[in-house]
Amino acid sequence: MSVYLDYNATTPVDVKVQEIICSVIKNVWGNPSSSYDLGKKAKSIVETARKKVAEMIGSLPGEILFTSGGTESNNMVISTAIQYFHTKARNVTNGLKEEKPHIITTNIEHDSVKLPLEKLFEEGKADVTFVPVSKITGAVEIDDIINSIRPNTCLITVMLANNETGIIQPVSTLRSKLKSIKDSKFHGEHSLNSILLHTDAAQAIGKIEVDVQDLDVDYLTVVGHKFYGPRIGALYFKNSAPLFPIFYGGGQERNYRPGTENTCMIAGLGKAAELVSSNLKEYNKHMTAMSCHLKECLETTFPKHCIFHIKDNNNKLPNTVSVALDYDKVTGSVLLSEAKKICASTGAACHSGGKPSSILIASGISCELASKTLRLSVGRETTEKEIETAVAYLDTALKNLGIK
């Protein structure tokens, strides 16, 4: 029996989501831009899904834009910030005529944020500050972000929860902190209201409550396949926030994101959002219980060799266990190669090559322990039996490697 413990990489599509996707494919295949009944039905399905995604995160339907996924949403925000600086902020801010836009982020962001920013910096199109997270808590310090603000700062982007450590970042305090220093930071040289705030909530949605009113951000990234939906996404953008397209075409999605709507997948995303809205407390409770059981089984089976990187009192996701099995000459990748029936990872699914995770090292984990780390993430339907089986597989793998 294979055991899947990599729900931070992707989740299966919920059966109810599958059903609505298949139904729309079969019965409502018209173009949502068409004026006849089949097109109007497709348009109605798109708008219903928009409302459901909005309800899930506490926004207005008109603040939801459907995209292909998290990478597109994140790139769109970054592109918008650059254009906003050049077309708007310079016109109302003193002394920035010759400045490049400045963006602040952290050193634990997903590659879909990190790499575009590195590219902009390399090309001389933007200044970028990568604020390091605390090596004690794994979370960024808000004061470190505030101290990085410059007169030409146009965007702050901080993920809501890290996909490897599970640490929840203090995004909700950013806006209030900006407002509290509004009149003192640059003595009128910079309008802090012009600093755009973005969070990538890919790992948080479906595990903890995510409300854009509480977070008070301008943009929030939604990724369907992280909460049992299809592999498309959405971008929340506050009514008052600027948004510039990165594609140009037929005018769909109010000209922000042209291209004929993927009606069936949008319907699936809406259903996945509806399930989160209705069942989040239950999901959270189950994942918390299963991750606790996982930790107990690991501690019992590998006493004195089991090192958990994130303490229970840290603000973290309910489903994520980052653990090093500290045995000589055994890395996490070697262990998983031997324990072939466990679907798990040593870090982010988009990384490979066997190197220790840069995210873990940035979060204060030694290079040696990072190389021995497993990222184990449970899901909505993970069972105690599956967890016990997975730990037994790890134990057998170590014995086969001659370690135990």
What confidence tens digit (pLDDT) does each residue in 177-223 have? 988 876 555 544 555 458 999 999 999 999 999 999 999 999 999 99
> Are residues 137 and 240 both part of a single domain?
yes
Q: Which residue has the tokens 């984990």?
A: 365
DSSP string, 123-160: TTS-EEEEEPPPTTTSS--HHHHHHT--TTEEEEE--S
Q: Of the candidates 249, 276, 303, which is a domain's last residue?
A: 276
What confidence tens digit (pLDDT) does each residue in 242-287 have? 999 999 999 999 999 999 999 999 999 999 999 999 999 999 999 9
Domains identified in the chain, total number:
2
Q: Respond yes or no: is residue 306 known to be catalytic.
A: no
Structure tokens at 345: 């990872």
Nearest to 235 by CA among 257, 213, 262, 250: 257
> Are residues 288 and 389 both part of a single domain?
yes
* CB atoms inside a 10 Å sphere around CB 352: 11
> Are residues 73 and 204 both part of a single domain?
yes
What CATH number is given to the structural domain containing 159? 3.40.640.10
Query: Which CA distances in Å does 110 have to 106, 113, 246, 283, 398?
Result: 10, 6, 20, 24, 31
Q: Which residue has the tokens 């970028």?
A: 128
* SS3 label, residue 239: coil
Q: How far is it, in rounded angstroms, from Cα 74 to Cα 128?
A: 15
Q: Of the candidates 211, 242, 276, which is a domain's last residue?
A: 276
* SS3 label, residue 62: helix
What confidence tens digit (pLDDT) does each residue in 308-365 have? 998 766 799 999 999 999 999 899 999 999 999 999 999 765 555 567 899 999 999 9
Q: Of the candidates 240, 257, 276, which is a domain's last residue?
A: 276
Nearest to 220 by CA among 45, 51, 76: 76
> Are residues 270 and 291 both part of a single domain?
no
What CATH number is given to the structural domain containing 344? 3.90.1150.10
Does the predicted model carry a pTM greater than 0.85?
A: yes
Structural domain of 313: 3-11+280-401
Q: What are phi and psi of 317, to 5 degrees?
A: -65, 150
> Are residues 319 and 245 both part of a single domain?
no
> Are residues 270 and 297 both part of a single domain?
no
What's the confidence (pLDDT) of residue 39?
95
Q: How far is it, in rounded angstroms, from Cα 46 to Cα 42?
A: 6
Q: Which one is catalytic: 22, 343, 350, 367?
A: 350
